């Protein structure tokens, strides 16, 4: 492995002089895709070390988060109350770092039939304590699932996809295998196997009748 000093890196890759201060000692991280230095790296996202680095940067460990959450919201957990309170604190810290809330409280909270797929982590996702979300759902960044004035929130079926920035308000029922487009605002029930887009949300397709 070839190692370069700070000035050697700047000269080797013909980088701007301001880059000099960004190159520390002999550890070089190059992200100058807008200049002449372009480095292609194949990263195995499933590798334990890579996942550990990602978890550290995002302050979110998917497996730990949902394991702890199951213990916290369960009214029949075998864990001691102090253990569950510690879990709740750790969850809230992860939520706070990511400007998120998954509707978690001690002995209650949003009901998930299984951990959702979060391709961008918790990033800006806010879920009402009264929401119910089915299995195999995918939730993208900055989604809001909010309760209405009656403190009722959405019931979402299995295998649904909620696009980035989507907002679901009130006690609506969303069927199985529904796709909700990015930035869509949903305030009415959505039948299963549908695609809904726009503000307000409009159903534009229904492939299979439930």
- Per 3-state DSSP, the chain is made up of helix, strand and coil in percentages (nearest 5) of 25, 20, 55
User: Are 156 and 131 a contacting pair, CB within 8 Å?
Assistant: yes
CATH for 48-206 is 2.160.10.10
Ranges of each domain in the chain: 1-41, 48-206
pLDDT for 168 equals: 97
pTM summary value: 0.75
Calculate what percentage of the chain has a pLDDT beyond 90.
66
pLDDT for 15 equals: 53
User: Are 175 and 196 a contacting pair, CB within 8 Å?
Assistant: no
Cα 72–74–77 angle (5° rounding)?
Answer: 85
pLDDT for 55 equals: 77
* 173 compared with 8, residue with greater pLDDT: 173
Helix (H, G, I), strand (E, B) or coil at 42: coil
| 102-148 pLDDT, tens digit each | 999 999 999 999 999 999 999 999 999 999 999 999 999 999 999 99
Q: For residue 1, what pLDDT band results from cuts at 50, 70 and 90? A: very low
Residue 188 has pLDDT above 50, yes or no: yes
Strands (E) located in the chain: 104-105, 108-109, 111-112, 126-127, 132-133, 138-139, 144-146, 155-156, 161-162, 167-169, 173-174, 179-180, 185-186, 194-197, 202-206
| 4-36 pLDDT, tens digit each | 454 554 555 555 554 444 444 333 444 433 333
Distance CA 9, CA 7 (A): 5
User: Are 179 and 195 a contacting pair, CB within 8 Å?
Assistant: yes
* 138 compared with 60, residue with greater pLDDT: 138
Residues in the chain: 210
pLDDT for 46 equals: 72
Residue 97 has pLDDT above 90, yes or no: yes
User: Are 197 and 163 a contacting pair, CB within 8 Å?
Assistant: no
Q: DSSP secondary-structure letter at 117?
A: B
Q: Which of 37-46, 62-71, 131-140, 167-176 has the lowest mean pLDDT?
A: 37-46
pLDDT for 21 equals: 45
């Amino acid at each position: 492995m070839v190692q370069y000093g700070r000035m050697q890196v700047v000269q080797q890759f013909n980088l701007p002089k301001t880059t000099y201060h960004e190159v520390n000692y002999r550890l070089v991280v190059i992200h100058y895709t807008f200049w002449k230095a372009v480095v292609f790296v194949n990263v195995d996202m499933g590798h334990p070390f890579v996942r550990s680095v990602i978890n550290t940067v995002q302050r979110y460990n998917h497996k730990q988060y949902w394991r702890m959450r199951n213990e916290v919201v369960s009214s029949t957990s075998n864990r001691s109350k102090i253990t569950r309170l510690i879990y709740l604190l750790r969850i809230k810290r992860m939520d706070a770092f990511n400007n998120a809330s998954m509707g978690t409280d001690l002995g209650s909270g949003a009901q998930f039939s299984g951990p959702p797929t979060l391709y961008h982590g918790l990033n800006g996702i806010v879920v009402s304590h009264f929401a119910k979300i089915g299995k195999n759902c995918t939730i993208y960044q900055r989604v809001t699932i909010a309760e209405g004035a009656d403190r009722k929130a959405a019931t979402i079926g299995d295998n649904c996809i909620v696009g980035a920035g989507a907002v679901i308000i009130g006690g609506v029922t969303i069927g199985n295998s529904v796709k909700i487009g990015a930035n869509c605002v949903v305030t009415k029930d959505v039948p299963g196997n549908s695609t809904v887009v726009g503000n307000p949300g409009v159903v534009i397709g229904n492939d299979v009748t439930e």
